[in-house]
Structure 1
Amino acid sequence: MKGVVFNLLEDAVICAHGMAAWDSMLELARLDGAYTSLGSYPDGEVVALVEAASTVLVLPPGEVLRWFGRSAIPLLHKRYEMFFTPHHCAQTFVASVNDIIHPEVRKLYAGAGCPHFHFHDLEDGRTGLTYQSPRRMCRLAQGFIEGAADHFGDKVEIEHLSCMLDGHPVCRIALGWAQ
């Protein structure tokens, strides 16, 4: 995983819970915390930090990922405003991930293993999202979507229809964008 993700996690934890919480997470995870944004680090390190955060923040791991994704959006906006500027709502921003944001991420961070999202219309009018990643961090994706909705002042209802964590080959998620 790219170091920028670790940097965002560190910033989110420190902003919300203070430096002591970050230091406690590093100690519990037995990591030194020296992450450069362009560096690549084993996925196991982010997993260890999520598990440590679960203990420190008293949240289940999935909720830690969701909280992190939601908290990271304002930080991402500060660092990469150019990804946000063309959009006036969360729905178009989220839909741009595969075609605009992830290719740019790969340019900035060579070797980034971005998840893949497939969007489609559901019969009930919601947007269907298929999430696929060997990291199986759909709750992080959910948090990013919620954070984007917060950023743009939108409302979104998210329903997990199936999940890789329950043995399914992909996560299927329904997004209901409030008008």
Structure 2
Amino acid sequence: MKGIVFTEFLEMVEQEFGLEVLDQIINESDLSSGGVYTAVGTYDFIEMQRLIVKLSEKTGLSANDLLYAYGKTFFAVLEKNHANIFSLYDGPLEMLASIENHIHVEVRKLYPGAELPTFRVIQQDDNFLEMMYYSDRSMYMFAKALMVQTFDHFLENSRIELEKVQDDGTQVRFRIYKEPHAVN
């Protein structure tokens, strides 16, 4: 897993839960890296799992809630560092539908060796997108947060449903609806 995912996660932990909690989860997670990461490095995903489990224990929040919160935070990093990608799309559904065939291709150019989930579009129209998520890492709530933030970026409303096809979260079906704007 690319180091930027770790460095941004640790920054979120410090901002949201404080330096003391950050130090505790690093010290109690038995990390082969010692909890020292560079944005361009590559690290074992087991370290991220351990950090999330420890953070869950410290905060009482579920791992999925933490992954969702982190996804929302990480989106801001993508928005800041890769604004050019957003300008290529007219709306959130178009952008989300291009994850596999365009966005992940660009990510792999920027971060060679990045291990990314796979997304397969099942059905798409102007107001709906159904896609399958595949990943051994089961970070589907992180993916859902990125989807929600994509709609926010385009100032669009959404409703996103997910269905775990595999109980362990390695295969998840997303049904993404573009919702009309509320009338005042």
CA distance in 2, matches of 1:4, 1:87: 25
Counterpart of 1:5? 5
Counterpart of 1:96? 98
The SS at the match of 1:175 is: strand
Counterpart of 1:28? 28
Over the matched positions of the two proteins, sequence identity in percent amounts to 28
Counterpart of 2:158? 156
Normalising by structure 2, what TM-score? 0.84
**Superposition pairs for residues 1-179 of structure 1, below 5 Å?**
1-31=1-31, 32-121=34-123, 126-164=128-166, 166=167, 170-179=171-180
Normalising by structure 1, what TM-score? 0.86
Shift of 1:47: 0.5
CA distance in 1, matches of 2:55, 2:170: 27
Shift of 1:88: 4.2
CA distance in 1, matches of 2:42, 2:144: 23
* Paired residues, number: 177
Shift of 1:85: 2.3
Shift of 1:170: 2.2
Shift of 1:168: 7.4
The SS at the match of 2:88 is: coil
Higher helix fraction: Structure 1 or Structure 2?
Answer: 1
Shift of 1:167: 5.2
Greater Cα shift, 27-36 or 70-79: 27-36
Q: Map Cα deviations across residues 105-141 of structure 1 (whole Å, 9 max, x no partner).
A: 1112111111110123279x63211001121211111
